[in-house]
Amino acid sequence: MAQQTDALRDEIQTKRSTEQAITLLSDVVDPEIKARLQAGPIMKLSGAEFPSLIDGRCLIAAPSKTGWQLTRSC
């Protein structure tokens, strides 16, 4: 019974996290950033491991009136 309770708790947390990720992603307007951000939850839900950064590139984004906008690369 305890295992079932733990499994149900994990499923509920996963559902909440997924809903929150979908809500947050809907605010992102830059297609490049949105595609990168969508990859994280997809990989996590599929059980895949996240790749490490090879070239050290990153993107800086900031909120705007219409969502998130890419401000610069580093």
Backbone region of residue 57 per phi and psi (left: phi > 0; alpha: psi in -120 to 50; beta: other values): beta
Does the pTM exceed 0.75? no
Query: What average pLDDT score do residues 54-65 get?
Result: 60
- Residue 37's nearest CA partner among 3, 15, 57, 61 is 61
- Domain of residue 45 covers 2-73
pLDDT tens by residue, 9-33: 988 988 888 788 888 888 888 888 8
pLDDT tens by residue, 35-51: 888 877 777 777 765 55
Number of domains in the chain: 1
3-state secondary structure of 32: helix
* Rounded CA separation 19/10 (Å): 14
